[in-house]
Amino acid sequence: MKYILVTGGVISGIGKGIISSSIGTILKSCGLHVTAIKIDPYINIDAGTFSPYEHGEVFVLDDGGEVDLDLGNYERFLDIRLIRDNNITTGKIYQAVINKERRGDYLGKTVQVVPHITDAIQEWVMKQARISVDDDGVEPQVCVIELGGTVGDIESMPFIEAFRQFQFKVKRENFCNIHVSLIPQVASPLTHEYIIHDPVIMCRCATVLETSVKEKISMFCHVEPTQVICVQDVSSVYRVPLLLEDQGVVDYFCQRLNLPVEMRSRKMLTKWKEMADRSDKLLEQVSIALVGKYTKLSDSYTSVIKALEHSALAINYKLDVKYIDSADLETSTLKEEPVKYHEAWQKLCSAHGVLVPGGFGVRGTEGKMLAINWARKQNKPFLGVCLGMQLAVCEFARNVIDMPEHNPGQLGGTMRLGRRRTIFTTRDSVLRKLYGDVEHVDERHRHRFEVNPELKHHFAKEGLHFVGQDVEGERMEVIELQDHCYFVGVQYHPEFTSRPIKPSPPYFGLLLAAAGKLQSYLAKGCRLSPRDTYSDHSGSSSPDVDISDLKFPSL
């Protein structure tokens, strides 16, 4: 097993996640099986209780793990499936050690940060690195580990010490450190910033560094010039793997870690270049109104935005997301801040499609239902996800079938999390066709409330059909409104499984409808389903799969 540790300095949030994902991508393009681990030094057990304004969205994995959004980057870039133990937190480590102490596993010894906490970190990494993340079940060969925060943080110190020891435990030829640091100006070399010996230094900067600057960094940091990599701002994240490849990162890893790599044509990386080139050349624009309550921070909807981008790229359109705070659409805002109210409605009315994503709490729900009502009446393409789907049902019940209000009482219980199966109940479903006319789909969930199945016949009589249910037929999973260009709601979160070359079908349908191309796509029989844009139809994400020409639907 080869381990690549990615650390950061100066400030947090400078791109460690994208760089970690990009490293994994170029190694996977070489035919290697790659896994990834994210370490978050906070004391929380997981990200499940975070506000989106705290760390961005909560990403949900197949096993129901609620984790940091960087694991979403790993899955999208590498086309892999991770589990909750791929996200390590201080809380998880201390909980595991304390549980062992309570059981008497330490035989009465004093339990300390060194060696007990540091040992627990190393054991966790070594165990998790060997868990397959590909559909073929093959054990990974390379594990990319991202340490969140910066190396100077007090909370990161046990992890830094653990990896200082770890490099000697697994031997030099099996361990490498990449240190990412901001280079705001030449006058600030990186002396003494990193902890692990002999790292690759990735310099985040606005523009390409001059050779003299790279040589200066090399000299002050006691590393070879080839170990100083420039990661300047680029037009899209698709270009980051290409940027690293062009600077010889693969060649360095092959030499440093003795990787079993054949220097052959890397078709997977070729697809990334085609995506990047396509993204840069897009001219036509499609706009989607994202109506939510966390719109002040785009990271709150990272996976949603990525799913929209994947679908827009597939139909050769540039995406324009219009962020609308749902509360701004409500009549109370008209009274208190009329300018904000009219600006919000102007954004909504000028969009080509409407998306109401998941969320929690009562605030802003009335505004979301007003947006849904407008999309339904104006025949505008609409997609409701999780809470968005539930509110679409509520809006329809209020305004079409005059159903009385229902008080759900207290929340109680825990959420329904992770991958679950949805069975399509009719062959006429638009969403079923977009998925490739399959009988069922497996998607990830994160919700507490559900639609009451006893009421579904009331909706069906008025044209709102529940075309997808869970295996038992007790939970309503998919709604579609008849005689509408595209009015779809899903209880699950399809954005979590969207990939750059395999866009999520519900989002793909929204973008097709917003661009006015859904009917022509359906008329052609959806021969190129979004889930089949890879030439291999086995569902395998193994790097050995031959990825032939990138072909999106011809529209």
Q: Which of 504, 513, 355, 512 is nearest to 443 (CA)?
A: 504
495 is catalytic: yes
Q: Pick from 479, 471, 474: which is nearest to 441 by CA? A: 471
**CA 107 – CA 51 distance, rounded (Å):** 40
Is-contact 156 120, C-beta < 8 A?
A: no
Q: Which residues contact 120 (CB under 8 A, 6 or more apart)?
A: 93, 96, 97
For 407, other C-beta atoms within 10 Å of its C-beta total 4
Q: Please state, in angstroms and rounded to a whole number, the distance separating the CA atoms of residues 135 and 73.
A: 18
Q: Directed axis angle between helix 118-128 and helix 157-169, to 10°?
A: 60
Q: Is 318 helix (H, G, I), strand (E, B) or coil?
A: strand
The residue count of the chain comes to 555
Name every residue whose Cβ is closer than 8 Å to that of residue 252 and which is 6 or more positions away in sequence: 200, 226, 227
Ramachandran assignment for 402, one of left (phi > 0), alpha (psi -120 to 50 degrees), beta (any other): left
Are the CB atoms for 308 and 315 separated by under 8 Å? no
Give the whole-angstrom CA distance, residue 85 versus residue 83.
6
Distances (CA, A) of 104 to 99, 109, 110, 266: 9, 9, 11, 52
Catalytic residue chosen out of the listed positions 57, 477, 480, 495:
495
Task: Look at residue 176 and give its three-state secondary structure.
Answer: strand
- The set of residues, in sequence order, having a beta carbon less than 8 Å from that of 112 and lying 6+ positions away, is none
Give CA–CA dist 345/378, Å, rounded.
Answer: 14
- Which residue among the candidates 33, 116, 445, 493 is catalytic per the annotation? 493
Place of tokens 């025949």: 379
Instruction: Report which residue type is found at 302.
Output: T
The Cα 65–Cα 523 span in angstroms is 39
Tokens 């159903």 — which residue?
403
Sign (positive or negative) of CA dihedral 496, 497, 499, 501 = negative
Instruction: Measure the CA–CA gap between 494 and 402, rounded to whole angstroms.
Output: 30
SS (H, E, C) 156-205: HHHHHHHHHHHHHHCCHHHEEEEEEEECCCCCCCCCCCCCCCCCEEEEEE
DSSP 51-64: -HHHHSPPEE-TT-
Q: Is 230 a catalytic residue?
A: no
Of 386, 394, 485, 526, the catalytic one is 386
Q: Coil, helix or strand for 296? A: coil
Which helix or strand (DSSP H or E) is residue 202 part of? strand 200-205
Strands 382-385, 440-447: pairing is unpaired
**Residues carrying an active site annotation:** 386, 493, 495
